[in-house]
Amino acid sequence: VRRKKSISIEEKIDIISAVESGKKKADIAAKYGIKKNSLSSIMKNKEKVLEAFESLRFDPKRKRLRTAFYTDLEEALMKWYRIAQCLNVPVNGPMLRLKANDFAQQLGHSDFKCSNGWLDRFKSRYGLVFRAPPPVEAAASTAVDAPALWYQNVLHCYLNDYQPKNIFYIQETGLLYQMLPHNTFAFKGETCSVGKLSKERITVVVGTNLDGSEKLRLLVIGKSKNPRCFKDVKSLPVDYEANDRAWMTLEVFEQWVHKLDDRFQAEQRRVVILVDSLPAHTEVKNLKSVKLVFSPPGASSFTATKHGAVRSLKVKYRRCLIKKFVDCVEGNKEFMLTLLDAIEMLHLCWRTVTPETVVKSYNETGFKWEANENGNHREDEGDFDLIAHAQAAGVEFPEGLSLEEYAALDDGLATCEMPTNNERMYVKESTSDKAGMFVGDEDEDEGDRFQGAQQPLPSKHEALSALDTLRKFLRSQDTNDSLHDSLADLENFI
């Protein structure tokens, strides 16, 4: 009797890629020495194979996907191991044994004991090998190979199964929202996770799909849940969360992904969301329309996109900030910028980031698919003229500092939490009162240097009067009907 041949996960990935590329199934089966029904079975279980490969839950050389009895313990242990990898913390057998027993106690597995046999089986299941650190040259080449394999196999399959409009990538960026050109020396190289400058920083989470046709609603993470400038505010043009470090946490990530899942489910869409493997990016359960795909730990797989949507957003924001400051100088007014002002400016700038910018950044990253990219597209809006205008108005702009460099000065801000204890390894339910997000007592320690006096809310009559002034201005301009329609919608709303 001919013995059935076992195929490793890595070989199954190669088989799936070959089938997806259009090769004949008979030739593929012959190459790997398997029967056609075995190949059909692999394709039937494609999602499970891809999930096992991209989530690093199993060793790629492993041939079976059988899970362990203490699945919750192993998930917690692997999550801890992945975070240790992200933080470049060396892990050995005794450390793993200690953590396993620790997690077992926390999860209520009183009968569990991390024996040598269990530890060996665990390492075998997940392909963990502890060895001395390789030389620098070898480590660099290995780091290049892992993302390359991930790109070629995992992403290739998702690009075949999902349309580009249904594949999104999200990333965080830090923003010192009050940083003017003349204070850049005080911020350059500052991590700003704690300390005085942390009061003036926020984290902005952006998301776009591959063809640039859709930009997700921005998520802004601030330091204060109820800043003074949010008084009487009932809605914002962005999603807003807050914690004492103003950065992404496990809880915020899980809540936001669930919110996206609800939205896509309502739209009857199935989407893939690509995220980098960072400590605050956790696997989220009970998703119905969203599939989270994590890049390999320790690999910045989408570095080029930081010069795309995120870079465009930050340059546009700095441009608006300078214009606002110049207007105040020329009008002999006090410059004030609240967190609410910054949020509205970010929303305005995000709306103007073009699909061409997004597509170009993805193509530079390695996503190769047919797209209508305009090679002559530029987003230059007269930066030199803006800087010259600012300097003429008396704004101190450091010599030789371009707007691009000005926008990149806060790129090094920490944007996610770094767990230091076991409790942060678990995603807990949020206890924040969403219904009271912008009401109740305001936080006094907002840290805005330019808050100024609280402005009273305009009355309905004042709002209609301002709208009438805007309408008169539009009549004198050569514009299209859409702006007039928007004014009519605003008037009906008021």
What are 203's strand-pairing partners? 174, 221
Q: Is 293 helix (H, G, I), strand (E, B) or coil?
A: strand
Secondary structure, 3-state, 124-190: HHHCCCCCCCCCHHHHHHHHHHHHHHHHHHHHHHHHHHCCHHHEEEEEEEEEECCCCHHHHHHCCCC
List Cα–Cα distances, 486 to 350, 460, 470, 475, 482, in angstroms: 19, 18, 11, 14, 6
What pLDDT sits at residue 205? Answer: 96
pLDDT at 424 (0 to 100): 42
Determine how many CB atoms are found less than 10 A away from the CB of residue 122: 20
* CB of 172 closer than 8 Å to CB of 190: no
Q: What's phi and psi for 213, nearest 5 deg? A: -80, -15
**Residue of 313, 304, 320 lying closest to 363 (CA atoms):** 304
> What is the predicted pLDDT for the residue at 184?
59
Which residue ranges in the chain fall short of pLDDT 70?
1-6, 9, 51-69, 85-89, 126-127, 129-154, 182-199, 296-307, 365-384, 417-455
d(CA 438, CA 112): 47
Q: The pTM is what? A: 0.66
Sheet holding 201-209, edge to edge: 239-242, 219-222, 201-209, 167-176, 271-275, 290-294
SS3 58: coil
Fold of the domain spanning 148-183+197-371+379-409: Nucleotidyltransferase; domain 5 (3.30.420)
pLDDT of residue 175: 93
204 sits in which H/E element: strand 201-209
Q: What are the sequence ranges of the domains in the chain?
A: 9-55, 71-126, 148-183+197-371+379-409
H-helix or E-strand spanning residue 313:
helix 309-330
Residue 427: CB atoms within 10 Å: 19
| CATH homologous superfamily of 71-126 | Homeodomain-like (1.10.10.60)
